[in-house]
Amino acid sequence: MQTRGTLIRAAASVFDEFGYSGASITEIINRARVTRGALYFHFASKEDLANGVIDAQAEQVRVEPRELKLQELVDLTVTVARDLSADVVLRAGIRLAVEQGAFMSVRESPYMTWIDMCRRILEEARESHELLPHIVPADTAELVVGSFSGIQLLAQARSGRDDLRERVSTFWNHVLPGIAVPGVLARLDTSAVLPDESGSEPPTN
Amino acid sequence: MQTRGTLIRAAASVFDEFGYSGASITEIINRARVTRGALYFHFASKEDLANGVIDAQAEQVRVEPRELKLQELVDLTVTVARDLSADVVLRAGIRLAVEQGAFMSVRESPYMTWIDMCRRILEEARESHELLPHIVPADTAELVVGSFSGIQLLAQARSGRDDLRERVSTFWNHVLPGIAVPGVLARLDTSAVLPDESGSEPPTN
């Protein structure tokens, strides 16, 4: 298990730096400091490694349970925004998703992990009567994931992601009035500060 | 002028296919059927060609004036969604923006043309009292362009862009309630059908 984790992190750092097509197995082996045999014991191919990174990225993200499920959804995006700079597995996962969407033809799952996660939270929000009646959780989940992908790319181009949290806050200020019932809307915190950060100033990245 | 236009289109088709770093001047010359000397008469470098493509993409997009400026903004996104499949210059411009945002370090303008265009429309909407008082046109413009970039990448991954118009319609249904004053909101058409298409069924791509 430890070797597997080491290989995932090494593969993530290579995908993050060179993209899927530019990534070489040799470079991954070098960074992981394992033998080629050890790699192929755990992963059949480069694609298999990419899938390992994609599966691992979502496991990294932990969101505290909240009374309002829509607050959990906001927290999820703020957590990803916070962790992107420090977490190479998360960053590689997003690069694989964006590249695949734009220019590769692999399986479609890099996005699906996030879409499913958002859809489940939105379905819980529906059960808690937080959503306006016309909202379809599956459609809103795709909207959130699609928009977030683009917003973080734009943030990277404009500020090296320094203002990503601010942009996530702007996104929710624009979108929540179209999703949440008024009584819930008034109680949602879109300041992009997480519960475990309260009392301290929000970091800028 | 004709050679310049031919070179822009040839460069766009090469950028669209290979990306910025994979594009070669030789391939651009071959596709344009011009000499190397003719290319360097018009463009100093590959970067200069990329900037030419970026400047050209926005010139392609024409939106009919509308009584409601927010309708013009919706129409602009629907027009880009409609033209992306057919228009290689538009597609190359978006690929250059996305790649640059993610992995290159060129000038930041691929996005800026679109952000400026959206901001100007939103400022007109502000003057026509279409916007809720707290809306800042510059922030909303960045939100629209960032989200659109991501939504079209996700649409490309999920359906080869077949459902891009539907996704653009979903985007506006979510976002307009957070932007428009109620009297304007009720009059906006988010069906993603353009004025010159009315009377006929909306195309699916």
Tokens 């943030």, residue? A155
Residues of B in contact with A108 (CB under 8 A): 157-158
Of A100, A175, A176, the CB nearest to B157: A100
Residue A193: φ, ψ to 5° = -110, 130
**What was the pLDDT predicted at A102?**
46
**What was the pLDDT predicted at B108?**
52
Q: Mutate which of A104, A149, A154, A171 to test chain B, going by most B C-beta atoms within 10 A?
A: A154
Calculate the dihedral angle through the C-alpha atoms of B46, B50, B51, B52, rounding to the nearest 10 degrees. Answer: 100
Residues of A in contact with B154 (CB under 8 A): 101, 111, 142, 145-146, 149
Contact B28, B14 (CB under 8 A): yes
- Measured in angstroms, the CA of B2 and the nearest CA of chain A are apart by 30
- Total Cβ atoms within 10 A of residue A124: 15
First to last CA, chain A: 32
Q: Mutate which of B16, B105, B143 to test chain A, going by most A C-beta atoms within 10 A?
A: B143
**Contact at CB, A101 and B156, closer than 8 angstroms:** yes
Q: Mutate which of B91, B154, B165 to test chain A, going by most A C-beta atoms within 10 A?
A: B154
pLDDT category at B18 given cuts 50, 70, 90 is confident
First to last CA, chain B: 32
Contact A43, A70 (CB under 8 A): no
Residue A180: φ, ψ to 5° = -90, 145
Structure tokens given for B99: 């790649």
Of B110, B148, B158, the CB nearest to A150: B148
Contact B167, A111 (CB under 8 A): no
**Chain B residues touching chain A at CB-CB below 8 Å:** 19, 95, 97-103, 108, 110-111, 139-140, 142-143, 145-151, 153-158, 167, 170-171, 173-179
Residues of B in contact with A98 (CB under 8 A): 98, 102, 153
**Contact at CB, B142 and A170, closer than 8 angstroms:** yes
Residues of B in contact with A146 (CB under 8 A): 147, 150-151, 153-155, 167
Contact B130, B181 (CB under 8 A): yes
Ramachandran quadrant class, B108 (left: phi over 0; alpha: psi -120 to 50; beta: rest): alpha
Listed in sequence order, the DSSP H helices in B66-185 are 69-83, 88-103, 109-127, 137-159, 164-175, 182-185
**What was the pLDDT predicted at B21?**
76
**What was the pLDDT predicted at B100?**
62
**What was the pLDDT predicted at B175?**
98
pLDDT tens series, chain A, 205 aa: 689 999 999 999 998 888 887 789 999 999 999 999 999 999 998 888 988 888 888 777 888 899 999 999 999 999 999 998 888 998 888 888 776 654 454 455 678 888 999 999 999 999 999 999 999 999 999 999 999 999 998 898 888 888 999 999 999 999 999 999 999 999 999 998 888 886 555 454 4
Tokens 């010159």, residue? B196
Domains along chain B? 2-55 (1.10.10.60), 57-192 (1.10.357.10)
Question: Tell me, what's the ipTM?
Answer: 0.85
User: Nearest CA to B124 among B112, B137, B135, B114?
Assistant: B137
What b/e sequence results for B56-76 when a residue is b if at least 16 CB atoms lie within 10 Å of its CB, and e otherwise?
A: bbbeeeebeebebbbbbbbbb
